[in-house]
Structures are given as structure tokens and as C-alpha cells.
Structure 1
Amino acid sequence: MLEDSKKARNVLSHAEVDTHIHAAACMNQKHLLRFIKHTYQTEPDRTVAEKRGRKITLRQVFDSLHMDPYDLTVDSLDVHAGRQTFHRFDKFNSKYNPVGASELRDLYLKTENYLGGEYFARMVKASRTQVPSAVALATGFQVGRLCCVQAEVARELEESKYQYSEPRLSIYGRSPEEWPSLARWFIQHKVYSPNMRWIIQVPRIYDIFRSKKLLPSFGKMLENIFLPLFEATINPQDHRELHLFLKYVTGFDSVDDESKHSDHMFSDKSPSPDIWTSEQNPPYSYYLYYMYANIMVLNNLRRERGLSTFLFRPHCGEAGSITHLVSAFLTADNISHGLLLKKSPVLQYLYYLAQIPIAMSPLSNNSLFLEYSKNPLREFLHKGLHVSLSTDDPMQFHYTKEALMEEYAIAAQVWKLSTCDLCEIARNSVLQSGLSHQEKQKFLGQNYYKEGPEGNDIRKTNVAQIRMAFRYETLCNELSFLSDAMKSEEITALTT
């Protein structure tokens, strides 16, 4: 495995982006284990929680769990997905709890807790990151000064130089205060890294909040998610921390177990969000439409004010109904997974024609829904779909500290991918990422946005011009074929 990763690194001497990764599992198992032992060794008597008015120290947390952190191993941590998680999304979710203890998940992998998410921030951020002037202005931190903390995930990305990541952070919609809290966590703990772009994931769990009487309607959930963003866009001076945080957010994601069945079929007769007051969870298409509609209006407002805009990049096609892919085709900028396209040649063709980016995670799918050998990534790549490789959850699915290289190395070995294949996937990852126009020019060339060979700088991408010419000519031929067919239909209709 180590040799394969080295080979992949030598081939991919240019930039690649992990286009789908969840922040709560962005570290590997050994990294998490090391951090837990480090905190227990250095600050066992620190107050880390409060329960029923009683302050609880780190030592007391582990005592209540009847465990000694010094005895913990990677195996006993039990955060790696395996056979038991295949087609069992509930068991997969439980793997986010180290040693099965939700207390440790709350303490180490959450942004909201007694410590204000400090431990999670320390695991994610870099060790010596140049604090940007905007962050320094908001926090009073001296411009140009280096913040020195323990070496963690972001530092490893920065040291690799050409590797970028787009971690997902959660906003649930329970309260409008979630946004200020998340922005405060990002700024106070200086979780900035030039090699990271952030995406907000919204879990589709309205039914849970409604059953607990936390929300009166689905409309209130949408309001809690989007109203703070509109307010920060209109009055940035009154919401400085959120306004600053949004500069580093590039998109939204919609996440949950797609295999959950819904009895409701979304149509023009469906109740509006304010009227959706039942405890039944809205269907997938309902979530996507209303998220898309709010993001579109928000983007228009931000564009008028010269602010950054957001992409919509939902999880889609991992399991469940094929109609999910139809909904995403109409609303999404990118999707994650897209496995079910394999079962629908028509939809697969539409995604090809529109060149909708697909972030695929074969190792993740191998533990949850589809064996690695049956994954359609190789087939999609050779057909010309816009695919990239991503890790999803390194803590659960990977063994090395370079999880993305592990994905590339295994894909190259299993599917006999060529150097040109790997470099095309890496180029796709940069194109479909939230990196800025200037950064994409740096990694792909000045004309990266142009189609065909004209948009490919082989010195930067290492993708052969003949490959780019083939992709462009094939797509043009397909579009021309459809255009000619439509013209023939119109002529036939006029003459009959």
C-alpha cells in the first residue's frame, strides 16, 4: 500500500482536491487515537463538560466510561467501518462514536460543546498557518503573525503542497443560532488553511426535530438555515463573524441515508414548507428543491453585492430511488457518489451531456453499499463523465495518513488505470472544486475554462492533448447528433 501511494504521488505531481470529505472524520484512526492520548496526558484535570450543574474533568469522563486512554488501541477505538456496516447506515453512523461512547464524539468531534469545539479545531487546523488579514481584523490577531499549535490535518495538506480538501461542516436547522456559533468556532480557533475550502452539509432529519417538538414546521427549519445568511449578506457589519466565515464557504450539501423510503411524492400539490407540519420527513426531491431555491435567491443577492456565491453539491445516487438523480440533475451543480447512474443509461447519458461533476468514493461505497469491483467509476471515466476521486470519511475507510493518495493508488491497481487516467481524474477534481479562478489558473493553466485541448496546459495537468481532443470531439458529436435529430423532428412536424 505504501509503495502504491508513493507511485500515485509521483504521477500526480500536480494539484488534486478531495472533493467529498466530512470534517468529523477527516483524520485517520491513528491520528484520533494519538490526540485523545495526548489530551489525557497533558490536561487530565481540565473541565471539559457540565452535567446537571456539575463540572466534569477529562479524567472523570474516562473514569465514567471505565477505561484508561493509555490502554486504547486503533482496534479498540472501533471507528473503522467494515462488514457490519454494509447496507446498515445506522451502524455506520454509530462508528462516529470512539469506543462506542457518544461522550467522546461530543468532546472530540463536535464544534458545539463545553469547550466550544476546541479539541475538534485543534485536530483539524494547521500548526503554522499564516493568519489572513480579514481573520486578524475580526479576531484582533496580529497580521502576519504565525499561530503555533499542534501539527494536525491541515498542516499535512499544506506540507504536501498540491493537495486540497473540502471538508463538510453541519448546520441542522434547529436554531438560527447555529450559524453564529459555527462562525465563532471557525474564527476563535483560527481553523483557517489555504488548502481547505468549507462546505455546509444539511442533514435531512426534520422528522427527528419535529417529533421532539423542536420545530413547528419544515418552513421553520429552512428559515433557521437560510435567514441568517440573508441577514449577513444585507448587513455584514452587524454579523461580522458570519460574514467573514462565509468567505471560506463554497457550497452546500444535503446528506442522510438515501435508502429511507418516503410515501410522499413531491409535486405541485405538495404542501408548502410552512404548511408541512406533520412528523413525516419530506421526500428527497422536496429537500433538494427548497434548498436549491433558497441558494439560488441567496446567490443572486450576494452577486449583486459583489460577495462570494455558493454551489449546491448534494449526496445523490448512493442508494434509494433513481428519481433522486433526476432531482439532482435539475437542481445540483455537482453530486457525490452517483452509483445508481449505472442502472439508468438514459440518466447516465444526460449527466454526460451536461458534464455534471460527480465526486466518487469507491472505498466508502465498498463498506456501505457496493463492492469495490462493481463500482462504476472506471466505466464512467472511460465514457467521458466528469468524475473525481474523494475519500468521504478517512477515519472510517482509510489506513494511511494520505487518504486521497490511498484512493488513487487502489483505483490504479484494481482498474489498471493509466497515468493519463489518474491525471485526468485529478484535473477533474480541481475543476469541480470550490477553488478560486486564480487558483485554478495556477494549477490548470490560464485558459482552463475553455473547452477541449485549448483549455488544457499539459505542463500543469499532465493530461495528453489527444485525450482532451477525444473528449471534446466526442461530446460535440453527441450534441450535434441531438441537434440534428431535433431539427428533423421540427421539419417533420411542419410538413404534416
Structure 2
Amino acid sequence: MGQNILREIFIKTDNVHNGKFFADLLKEVISDLEESKYQYAEYRLSIYGKSRDEWDTLAKWAVRNNVHSRSVRWLIQVPRLYDIYKAKGVCHNFQQLLDNVFLPLFEVTNDPKSHPELHQFLNYVCGMDSVDDESKLETINFDSRNPPADLWSSAENPPYGYYLFYMHANLNVLNHFRKKRGLNTFAFRPHCGEAGPIYHLVAGFMVAESIAHGLQLRKSPVVQYLYYLDQIGVAMSPLSNNGLFLSYQRNPLAEFMAKGLNISLSTDDPLQFHYTKEPLIEEYSIAAQVWKFSASDMCEIARHSVIQSGFPQTVSHR
């Protein structure tokens, strides 16, 4: 277990098997969700920004393998790996990465016939995410001295706030365009505050509809209060955090709940950190036992999960 070759074979969409094994696994999981009737899920798929055809490749995989379901929506995560692509000669500047991620979305919004499978796939996409290890040391500050994206051609990776600014700016324009066309829009829900400096959470507060993790909020009462005032969603994963960053007993989830923050429970890397075929139930049951949550507490967490989700109102208001 843990070997990259297993990931390449079983949970990739663009391998030599054209993602068949991954699709078969997903269908099994989706079938269980549909049978349970009251469970819904948002799964993450990756777009790396290495080439313009990534979206079409992913969409063709989804459509041809028929992994669409009323019980599932997709979040697209974009890893913050510009420095690696630059070193390999894949991208010459940061704008090229942004173009690879966003131009196909503008094209299909303008003319759905230009990318028919992508147009169909996007009906089930509810948002975008920015992911990477936040504990990495940032050697460049995010400030007014940063060059624009088309001039960022250095080998250094842009800081966290730089990524969030440009993803938000592009998503904001794209969403206005899609709304005018009568199409669904996408929320920005980045990984934020799992580690790293507090300014990550400040950046998330300014541009995100909700965030994943938010552990570092415990270190800044002021930023914590801002998240409370605006009720920005925070999807927390105590079992994953327990394995990587913070022991379960020290996790601030119960404290955040008591203060009235918009907190939900989420899984993160369930193949690594969970032991049953119901990883989210594990999160709920362990949280209830450790923090002695009441039935009302559990209902509040579940309600927050629905509010934060990207499912249409016809589903979430049932």
C-alpha cells in the first residue's frame, strides 16, 4: 500500500486503461450512495494546468464511463505545482497555467458545441479547490511587488495568496458569464488553514465561499471572529488531521461549534485514514463520542454540510 503505481492504476482517469478501473470503483461507491437514498457526496477530481486538453480528457472519461449520478457532485482541485511544471518546461509563466485551467471553461461556456462532453460534465461540477501542502515554506511574500501572471516566469512557486487571487478572479468572471448564459456556476472552496501562516486564512476569508480544514483559526481569534460573522463554511476532517498535523484531542472543532462557526465534518484521504466503507459515518460517530455531541449538535453539523454543499436547491432543501 502507498505505492504510486497503485494510484496510477486504480485512481487515475488518464492512464493506459483510460481510467476504467477508477470508473468501476466509483460506480460501486455511487451505487451504494443511491441505495441509501439520504446520502450525497462531493468527490474531488484533479486538473493540473499542464495542457489545454486536460478538461476534455477528464470530461470524456466521465461521460463515456457514465459516472454521473443525482447523488454525486464533483469538485475540481487544482494543485499549486507551477514550480514543478516550470522546472520541467511544461509552463513558461504562470499565465500559461491559468490559461490551461480556465480557457477551456470560457470556450465551452461561450459555445457548448465546441466541447460537448465538457459541457455535459460541467453540469455535475459544483466548485473548484486549490490544494497543496500549506506547511511548505514560502520564500516570496504576497504583496504589491508581485508581477502579474504573464510576467511571473521565475522558477519560484507563487505564494498561496497569489494562487487564490488569480483563481478567484478567473472564477468570478467565468461565473458571471455562465450565469448570463443560464448555466450552473462554481463555488471557490480551497484547502485553507490546515497548516502555514495565518494570512492563508485571511486570503480565504476574502475570496472563498467556504474552506477545507481551517485548523489554524485556533491561533487567531480575530480571523476566527471574521469567519463567524460571515458564516464562511469550514469543512473539518479530524481523523485526517490526527494522522498528519494535530492530535484528535487538540482538534478545535468542538470549540468552533460552541462559538457558532459554520462547521461541517468531511473526510480527507479516506483510503488512508478510515477503516470502513462508511468513512463519513466514522467521522460523525467518533466526533459524537469524543466530544459528547448531542443529537441537536449532530443535526447542526449535518445542516451545515448541506448548506456548504454544491447541490442544487431542489436537492438540498428536501
User: Could you tell me the TM-score, scaled by structure 2's length?
Assistant: 0.99
The number of residue pairs the alignment matches comes to 318
Q: How far 1:154 sits from its partner (Å)?
A: 0.7
Alignment of 1:328-477 (within 5 A): 328-442=204-318
Secondary structure of the 1:243 match is helix
* 1:164 aligned partner: 40
Letter in 1 for 2:84: I
Secondary structure of the 1:169 match is strand
Unaligned runs of 5+ in 1: 1-77, 79-94, 126-151, 443-496
Q: Does 2:229 correspond to 1:327? A: no
Q: How far 1:232 sits from its partner (Å)?
A: 0.3
Distance 1:267 1:301 in 2: 29
Deviates more, 1:257-266 or 1:362-371: 257-266
* 1:179 aligned partner: 55
Secondary structure of the 1:396 match is helix
Distance 1:319 1:394 in 2: 19
Distance 1:403 1:157 in 2: 12
Q: Does 2:72 correspond to 1:196? A: yes
Out of 100, 105, 109, the position equivalent to 2:7 is 105
Q: How far 1:103 sits from its partner (Å)?
A: 2.6
* 1:290 aligned partner: 166
* 2:93 aligned partner: 217
Out of 155, 159, 182, the position equivalent to 2:31 is 155
* 1:248 aligned partner: 124
Q: How far 1:155 sits from its partner (Å)?
A: 1.1
Secondary structure of the 1:191 match is coil
- The percent of aligned pairs where both chains have the same amino acid is 59
After superposition, give the CA deviation of every residue in 1:223-248 in whole Å (9 maximum; x if it has no partner): 00000000000010121111111110
After superposition, give the CA deviation of every residue in 1:30-75 in whole Å (9 maximum; x if it has no partner): xxxxxxxxxxxxxxxxxxxxxxxxxxxxxxxxxxxxxxxxxxxxxx
Unaligned runs of 5+ in 2: none
Q: How far 1:160 sits from its partner (Å)?
A: 1.6
* 1:274 aligned partner: 150
Letter in 2 for 1:117: G
Secondary structure of the 2:45 match is strand
Letter in 2 for 1:334: S
Q: How far 1:266 sits from its partner (Å)?
A: 1.4
After superposition, give the CA deviation of every residue in 1:431-475 in whole Å (9 maximum; x if it has no partner): 110010111221xxxxxxxxxxxxxxxxxxxxxxxxxxxxxxxxx
Out of 235, 259, 272, the position equivalent to 2:111 is 235
Out of 112, 116, 119, the position equivalent to 2:21 is 119
Distance 2:8 2:292 in 1: 42
Q: How far 1:353 sits from its partner (Å)?
A: 0.3
Deviates more, 1:182-191 or 1:102-111: 102-111
- Larger CA Rg, structure 1 vs 2: 1
After superposition, give the CA deviation of every residue in 1:89-112 in whole Å (9 maximum; x if it has no partner): xxxxxx3xxxx2x33221111000
Structure 1 segments, 4+ long, off by >2 Å, are: none
Secondary structure of the 2:139 match is coil
Distance 1:420 1:232 in 2: 44
Q: How far 1:268 sits from its partner (Å)?
A: 2.1
Distance 2:5 2:74 in 1: 26
Distance 2:222 2:85 in 1: 37
Distance 1:169 1:261 in 2: 26
Letter in 1 for 2:7: R
Higher relative contact order (CA 8 A, sep 6+): 1
After superposition, give the CA deviation of every residue in 1:247-300 in whole Å (9 maximum; x if it has no partner): 100000000000011121112221011111111000000000000000000000
Distance 2:180 2:310 in 1: 20
Distance 1:268 1:248 in 2: 37
Taking only aligned residues, the RMSD between alpha carbons, in angstroms, comes to: 0.7
Letter in 2 for 1:110: K
After superposition, give the CA deviation of every residue in 1:369-413 in whole Å (9 maximum; x if it has no partner): 000000000000111000000111210111111111110000000
* 1:309 aligned partner: 185
Secondary structure of the 2:123 match is helix
Letter in 2 for 1:119: F
Distance 2:25 2:137 in 1: 36
